[in-house]
Amino acid sequence: MGNSMRYLLASLLFFAIVTAGPATGAELGDGDVLGPSNWEGAKGLLPDEILEHYRTGDYVNQIVDLSRHDYMSVQLPADFQEASRANRGRYALSPAGSIIDARTGKQPPFTFGLPFPEIDPQDPGAGIKIVWNYFYTDYYNGNDHFLTELVMLGRRGVERRLATDVRMLMYDGCAEAKDLPNPQNLLLQQLARVVSPADLAGTTSLTWRFRDPDKHDSLWSYVPGLRRARQVSALNRSDGFLGSDISLDDGSFFDGKPEDFTFRLLEQRDQLMLLDPFSLRGEADIVSVPGGGWRIVWKDVPRIGADDPDWHGLPWAPVSAVLVRRPFWIVEAVPRDPNYLFGRLILRFDAETFLGSFVSKYDRANSLLMSYQASQGAYYTRDEGRTYLPAGGIAVRTSENLLYKRATVVLFPPRKQENPADYRVPLSPDQFNMDALIRLGK
């Protein structure tokens, strides 16, 4: 009887050993390369549509453990953190979801730092507060001037490529905007000029975005062939921009007007996010811009699969990025506009920095339609902490159309010092009016 019991226990133990194991596959560690052989280890850490790319080998990226001492911190800059702490209890939400002063009930004229530094997951307004925090983290970077590439890709490679020179003047959220006169209650002004291809060159657009929750963007466009500037309106901000998969509401991660959506915090959980390894390793190449500001000189490395002739995965795979495990807020956004293409969006924000990683966009029939993927980096200072900027060697923002199996990637070309990739540049409102639009377009 005793022996039988021992055999039974031994059998049970053996069975337990054989069948036990991590429910989500092997634990992923620093230096592991996530791909077809170990994708199961990332179950629950990535959106399903992204994990599928690793399963099939269409994406392959190294995993990095940020706790290693030789990496840069991805925490928010010190001045921003300080301002965020000072904002505790200062702001509240209006019924429409706008930021209001908690004491006066009015929209504050200027906000700096996280407006809602403490997020209570039980708070019904937690979702939109996280979104506002994301926006003010983004606004912190201030005025900028970038040469951007809009690369439209199919499974066989690049289909179309547009290069645009973009300047943006901030009226809120950054140090240089604090004392800027703002009689029209603007949030930002943006001037974008198509540089290439040659037949589109000179097509220029001017955007004014307002802080007023009820006021939508004003857009003007100048077409050289017609020699006339006209006000144009964005009918549907979920439309693809110039036939691409990027919509006006994508921006650097999410650019919808918060008041146009209802938000709901779904959960907090660990997720993997794409980061710039050059940024983490402290290898950002930053030079000062004559007249003010700082310029990032991008690395001469493949940014997406299409840059690498030896790459066999998806042409829009972020081949040089690394994956980092971080705590995340997962927020659902439901548009109020019945004509908005998507029925809901799942936004994923870093729970400490509020930077975004992946957006899953579902149509109104609740089928996954698009995936937006953004890589992030660490903050750098070159003036001993007076100003900080997010810098690194690569930056990739990808909008993948899962229905048509194609994507559009925003890249920052092409690794020359004379190409603008500038933060904190001094810009003035005179550069963002109708005259400037026509002047730049000619």
Partner 1 sequence: MRSSALANSRVGARSERPRTALALLLAAATLAVSVAALPGLPQLSQTVSLVPADDPDVQLDREITAQFGMQNPVVWIIEARHGTVWTPAMLKRIQALTREVFTVPGVIADDVVGLASPNLRDLRVTEDALEPVYLMAQAPETAEAVDTLRHRVENDPNYRGTLVSEDGRAAMVVANFRDDVDATIVAGAALALRDRYRDADTAVYAVGAPVLGTLAARGVPPLAATAALVLAVGFIVLSVTAGIRLALAAALAAVLATWWTAAVEVALGAAVLPWTVYALLPTALMAAAVTTTTIGSWRTQLPLAVALAMGFVALAAVAGAPAAAFGVAGAVGSVAAVLAGRAARILTACETESRALPHRSWARRGAPLLAALALLGTPRLRTSFGMFGYGARYLPPQAVADVRALARHFPPPTALAIRFRGEPGFVESPEVLKAFDGLAQAVRNDPAVVRVLSLADLVKMVNRAFNENRDEFLVLPEERDLIARYLALAYSPGFRRFVDRAFTQSAMWVYLSSEQPGDLDRVRTALRAQLAAHPVPAATVDFIGGDGAVVLVTARLARALAVGAAALLLLGASGIAVLCGASAGVRALAGGLAATAVATGVLVCCAAPVDLVSLPCLIAAAVAGMAFGALTESPQLCLALAAMAVLLVAASVVSGTQLGAVFGALLAGPAVAGLTTTTRGATPHES
Contact set with partner 1 (CB under 8 A) = 152, 154, 159-160, 194, 197-200, 203, 221, 223-226, 230-233, 235-236, 239-240, 242-244, 338-339, 341, 343, 363-367, 369, 403
Asked whether the beta carbons of 150 and 242 are under 8 A apart, the reply is yes
Asked whether the beta carbons of 177 and 171 are under 8 A apart, the reply is yes
Residue 287, classed as helix, strand or coil, is strand
* H-only helix segments in 96-152: 126-139
> With respect to partner 1, which residue has the nearer C-beta, 124 or 197?
197
Asked whether the beta carbons of 176 and 143 are under 8 A apart, the reply is yes
> With respect to partner 1, which residue has the nearer C-beta, 115 or 441?
441
Burial 97-136 (b: 16+ CB within 10 A, else e): bbbbeeeeeebbeebbbbbbbebeeeeebbbbbbbbbbbb
> With respect to partner 1, which residue has the nearer C-beta, 111 or 401?
401
Burial (CB count <10 Å: 0-12, 13-18, 19+), residue 160: middle
Query: CB of 150: closest distance to partner 1 in angstroms?
Result: 11
> With respect to partner 1, which residue has the nearer C-beta, 49 or 363?
363
Query: CB of 346: closest distance to partner 1 in angstroms?
Result: 17
Query: CB of 385: closest distance to partner 1 in angstroms?
Result: 43
Query: CB of 201: closest distance to partner 1 in angstroms?
Result: 8
> With respect to partner 1, which residue has the nearer C-beta, 149 or 276?
149
Query: CB of 159: closest distance to partner 1 in angstroms?
Result: 4
Asked whether the beta carbons of 310 and 323 are under 8 A apart, the reply is no
> With respect to partner 1, which residue has the nearer C-beta, 96 or 403?
403
> With respect to partner 1, which residue has the nearer C-beta, 245 or 422?
245
> Nearest 10 degrees: CA dihedral of 344, 46, 244, 319?
170
> With respect to partner 1, which residue has the nearer C-beta, 65 or 435?
435
Pull the structure tokens for residue 150: 């809009």
> With respect to partner 1, which residue has the nearer C-beta, 213 or 240?
240
Burial (CB count <10 Å: 0-12, 13-18, 19+), residue 151: buried
Query: CB of 344: closest distance to partner 1 in angstroms?
Result: 12
> With respect to partner 1, which residue has the nearer C-beta, 169 or 407?
407
- Side-chain half-sphere of 348: how many Cα atoms within 13 Å? 25
Among candidate residues 182, 162, 173, 293, the one with its CA nearest the CA of residue 240: 162
Per-residue DSSP letters for 320-389?
Answer: T-EEEEEEEEEEEEEES-TT-SEEEEEEEEETTT--EEEEEEEETTS-EEEEEEE-B-EEE-SSTTS--E
Residues 171 and 429: their CA atoms lie apart, in Å, by 10
Query: CB of 82: closest distance to partner 1 in angstroms?
Result: 45
Pull the structure tokens for residue 329: 């807020």
Query: CB of 228: closest distance to partner 1 in angstroms?
Result: 9
Query: CB of 97: closest distance to partner 1 in angstroms?
Result: 23
Bridge pairing between strands 186-196 and 356-363: unpaired
Query: CB of 382: closest distance to partner 1 in angstroms?
Result: 38
Pull the structure tokens for residue 228: 């006339």
